Structure formats: structure tokens, C-alpha cells
Amino acid sequence: MPQVTLTVNGKTASVEVEGRTLLVELLRDKLGLTGTHVGCDTSQCGACVVHVDGKAVKSCTMLAVQANGAAVTTIEGLAAADGTLHPMQEAFRENHALQCGFCTPGMVMSAIDIVATHPDGLSEAEIRHCLEGNLCRCTGYHNIVKAVSAAWPVMHGKVAAE
């Protein structure tokens, strides 16, 4: 079986996996990082989004061996060591952008990537378009869009985090 070595949330991990093992399976089953969810088994829902080398990736569509040597960040790796939430996590909390919470980790990870790749700002329509690959069955997206809008200036240094 292939050995996969990657940095997950700042820590090096080496794991033997079958060649067909998905990244989401490695994270959840081998490393115990269960914040990354499997929601649909068809890569439609976005509950499994993580960052691989700084880019949002649906981890159910990536083989673990493809992540060999990569830096992976999961929802568990966002908060600071002292427990301070990432600005996007804080914006989701402040704007009540979650209900059942199942989609939240993938939604937060996608939203961070969206904000990072739009340094000149985002309209509500752009946020909604960018989030089309993430499904939420509870919130109706309104507060999620508000949270992404609220996190943008903090993440781009336009206002201080509260």
C-alpha cells in the first residue's frame, strides 16, 4: 500500500492507504478529523471542502495519494491555538449562518477561498454564485451570504476583528 505524507493543520502525518482511498477518508478515518463531512457521495454538496495547498478542494473527489506532499487545512485547523476563531468562523457565528451545522465546515472552507480570491470585494450575487457548489438545506443562504460579506473586510485588513 502506498505511503502518503502530508501536512495537515500544520502537523506532518504519514499514513499507509489503499490507492483508491479518498482524501476525505484519510482525514476522517485515518486521522480522526471528523469536521470534514461526507454529505452526498457525488461531489455535489461541498460538505467535504478542505484547503489543499491553499485552494478549496472537495476532498471526496481527490485521492489521498494525490495529496502526497501537500499542505491540507481542515475546519479543525482554522482557529488559533488559543481558541480564537478564524474571521470567517466568527462571521458565521455572529451572523447566525448555520443551523444544523452539517454543511458549515465545507461552507466556511469554501467561503475563505472565495474571499481570498476576490481582493477587490464581492457583491451578494457574486457570493451566491461562488457558493453554488455548496448545499445547505436549512438556512436559505441569506445569513451565509451576510457572513461572507462581513468576513471580507476583516480578512483583507480593511477592519479589525472584533
CATH topology of domain 87-155: DNA polymerase; domain 1 (1.10.150)
Distance CA 41, CA 60 (A): 7
Q: Is 65 exposed, middle or buried (0-12, 13-18, 19+ CB in 10 A)?
A: middle
Q: Does domain 3-76 have CATH number 3.90.1410.10?
A: no
In this predicted structure, what is the pLDDT of residue 113? 98
Strands (E), the chain: 3-8, 11-16, 49-52, 55-58, 71-73
Q: Which grid coordinates belong to 68?
A: 502526497
Closest CA to 27 of 81, 79, 63: 63
**Angle, to 10 degrees, between the axis of helix 104-116 and the axis of helix 87-94?**
120
In this predicted structure, what is the pLDDT of residue 74? 98
Q: Going residue by residue through the chain (162 aa), what tens digit of pLDDT does each one get?
A: 899 999 999 999 999 999 999 999 999 999 999 999 998 878 899 999 999 999 999 999 999 999 999 999 999 999 999 999 999 999 999 999 998 999 999 999 999 999 999 999 999 999 999 999 999 988 889 999 999 999 999 999 988 666
In this predicted structure, what is the pLDDT of residue 162? 61
In this predicted structure, what is the pLDDT of residue 137? 87
Alpha-carbon distance values, 45 to 39, 50, 55, 102, 120 (Å): 6, 13, 17, 11, 27
Q: Is 152 exposed, middle or buried (0-12, 13-18, 19+ CB in 10 A)?
A: buried
Per-domain boundaries in the chain: 3-76, 87-155
Distance CA 1, CA 161 (A): 45
In this predicted structure, what is the pLDDT of residue 160? 67
Do 3-76 and 87-155 come out as alike in CATH topology? no
Q: Are 33 and 27 in contact (CB under 8 A)?
A: yes
In this predicted structure, what is the pLDDT of residue 96? 95
pLDDT in tens, 59-99: 999 999 999 999 999 999 999 999 999 999 999 999 999 98
**Mean pLDDT for all residues in the chain:** 95
